[in-house]
């Protein structure tokens, strides 16, 4: 009877050990699968991080390129504006010299008119009327061009792109009258 009990205990122990061994193998398989999945996930994460880093670098490079291009356009516009302003200044100086000369000539007119014949005075009056008419016409054309320019500037101001997520700070090109 002891042999039967001993055999039963030995059989139970062997059965327990084999069950333990099968569970160990099964769990080792699950651990190996989990480790493989973890290594793959870590690899995917590293790749994803590198992809994001590459995207960020491309976005920064694109933004820098756009900024540099826009800065070049701005600088070219400022240079053209400076050149136009210098041209305008030189023309204004020449105009001032011409006006000063005309004013000098006009200062002598009353003395010349009082000594001139009536035919010369009539000729002078006709010429002065014609010149005044030309000046008036030129002034009207200049006013029309100035109004056109102001209208164009206002249209540019109204069409200037804005960022809806920022509060309106006012357009630097906006014309206030």
Q: How confident is the model at residue 44 (pLDDT cuts 50, 70, 90)?
A: very high
**This prediction's pTM:** 0.49
Q: Given a cut of 60, is residue 150 above it in pLDDT? A: yes
Q: Is the pLDDT of residue 12 over 70?
A: yes
DSSP 96-116: HHHHHHHHHHHHTHHHHHHHS
Angle (CA) 24 26 32, round 5°: 95
pLDDT band at 134 (very low <50, low <70, confident <90, very high): very high
Cα gap 132→138, rounded to integer Å:
10
pLDDT value of residue 155: 81
pLDDT at 99 over 90: no
């Amino acid at each position: 009877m002891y042999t039967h009990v001993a055999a039963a205990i030995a059989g139970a122990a062997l059965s327990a050990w084999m069950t333990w061994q099968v569970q160990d193998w099964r769990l080792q398989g699950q651990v190996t699968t989990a480790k493989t999945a973890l290594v793959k996930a870590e690899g995917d994460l590293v790749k994803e991080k590198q992809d994001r880093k590459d995207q960020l670098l491309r976005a920064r490079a694109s933004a820098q390129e756009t900024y540099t291009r826009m800065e070049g356009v701005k600088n070219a516009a400022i240079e053209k504006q400076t050149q136009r302003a210098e041209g305008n200044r030189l023309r204004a100086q020449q105009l001032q010299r011409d006006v000063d000369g005309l004013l000098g000539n006009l200062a002598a007119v009353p003395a010349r008119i009082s000594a001139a014949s009536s035919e010369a005075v009539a000729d002078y009056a006709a010429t002065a009327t014609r010149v005044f008419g030309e000046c008036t016409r030129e002034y009207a054309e200049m006013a029309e061009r100035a109004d056109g320019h102001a209208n164009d500037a206002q249209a540019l101001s109204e069409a200037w792109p804005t960022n809806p997520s920022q509060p309106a700070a006012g357009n630097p090109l906006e014309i206030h009258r």
